[in-house]
Amino acid sequence: MYLQITTRCNMTCEHCCNSCTEDGEDMSLEVFRAALLESGWDYVMIGGGEPTLHPLFWQFLGESIAEAEGVWLATNGSQTNIALALAKMAQKGVIGCALSQDIYHDPIEDSVVEAFTQNRSQEFRRHEEDSREIRDVTSKEINAGRCDFGDEDRCVCSGIIVKPNGDIHGCGCDDAPKLGTVFSPEIPEGWDSNECHKEQEELAVMAS
């Protein structure tokens, strides 16, 4: 489950699939805890916007680590001290963390890029549990919440996503069906969160 804890961002990337701005919306603690419960303490992805801008970021991350089987998040690396801490946590396997680095993002401190890349390679990792990533979006062409990640065009989030207000959607596409809220979920039985919503619309109609 992808928890979009904020739609605020301190960058104005042309390729932003969520069209985030400085004046975004933050998820409340009540919504976050309800979403974490709904996830069944399974794999949780934390995103935004820039999630590290959320006033309760460290509390959200700590509760996710405590309750979920696995935690992953993405950051633009602009909050230098936080980004360096996240890189260390990911290198030790405490969380999975991706640093967004491409031609559309604003420059960040070299120390952050180094923290996410030093002693890291596809063939060999210094630590077996190393879960650092570099995320490179290769195209700024946006179509209803879809982005070009390398060699494939896909949803910015291909699984269940919880918006800051608590609404649950089938995926990150702009026209994905709403599946209730964290307080009253309406996720149809048999819903495959790995499939784009277009293949699930018929199932959702049948279940309603």
Cα 19 to Cα 24, 122, 207, distances in angstroms: 10, 31, 31
pLDDT tens by residue, 73-126: 999 899 999 999 999 999 999 999 999 877 777 788 999 999 999 876 554 445
CATH of domain 2-207: 3.20.20
pLDDT at 116: 92
> Whole-model pTM?
0.79
From first to last of the 208 residues of the chain, give the pLDDT tens digit. 889 999 988 766 666 666 666 678 999 999 999 999 877 768 899 998 899 999 999 999 999 999 999 999 999 899 999 999 999 999 999 999 999 877 777 788 999 999 999 876 554 445 568 999 988 765 544 444 444 444 444 555 667 889 999 999 888 777 788 999 999 999 888 777 655 444 545 555 555 5
Residues 153, 173: contact at Cβ < 8 Å?
Answer: no
Cα 30 to Cα 11, 16, 27, 58, 71, distances in angstroms: 27, 27, 8, 15, 19
Cis peptide before 159 (omega within 30 of 0): no
**SS3 readout for 128-167:** CCCCEEEECCCECCCCCCEEEECCEEEECCCCCEECCCCE
Residues whose CB is less than 8 angstroms from the CB of residue 150 and which lie 6 or more positions away in sequence, other chains included: 136, 138
The residues spanned by each domain of the chain are: 2-207
pLDDT at 61: 97
pLDDT at 57: 97
Quick one: which of 44, 22, 75, 25 has its CA closest to 161? 44
Tokens 């784009």 sit on residue: 196
